[in-house]
C-alpha cells in the first residue's frame, strides 16, 4: 500500500483513516442518543415491543415538529 500511495496521490486520490469507533460521525448513533435521552420515557423500556413501538413513533416523527 505504501508503494501505491504516491501514485494514488499523484492522481488526486488520498486515503483517510477513520477512528475505529466514532459515534459523532455516525448519524444513527446521534439519532439514538437523542431518542434515549430526550424522547423515550422510562415506561418505554418495559418490553421489547414497547421500546420498538416507541422508537418507531419517535423516528417517524423526526422532522415533523
- DSSP string covering 4-52, please? HHHHHHHTT----PPPS--GGG-HHHHHHHHIIIII--GGGGSSHHHHH
Q: Which three cell numbers stand for residue 44?
A: 418505554
Q: 2: pLDDT confidence band, cut at 50, 70 and 90? A: confident
Q: What is the pLDDT of residues 13-54, one digit of tens each?
A: 998 887 888 888 888 888 889 999 999 999 999 999 999 999
Is this prediction's pTM over 0.75? no
Which pLDDT score, from 0 to 100, does residue 65 have?
57
Q: CA 22 to CA 13: how far, in whole Å? A: 23
Rounded to an integer, what is the distance from CA 39 to the centroid of its chain?
17
Amino acid at each position: 500500500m505504501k508503494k501505491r500511495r504516491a501514485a494514488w496521490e499523484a492522481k488526486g486520490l488520498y486515503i483517510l483513516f477513520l477512528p475505529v469507533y466514532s459515534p459523532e460521525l455516525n448519524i444513527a448513533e446521534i439519532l439514538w442518543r437523542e431518542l434515549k435521552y430526550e424522547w423515550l420515557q422510562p415506561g418505554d423500556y418495559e418490553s421489547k415491543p414497547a421500546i420498538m413501538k416507541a422508537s418507531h413513533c419517535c423516528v417517524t416523527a423526526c422532522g415533523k415538529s
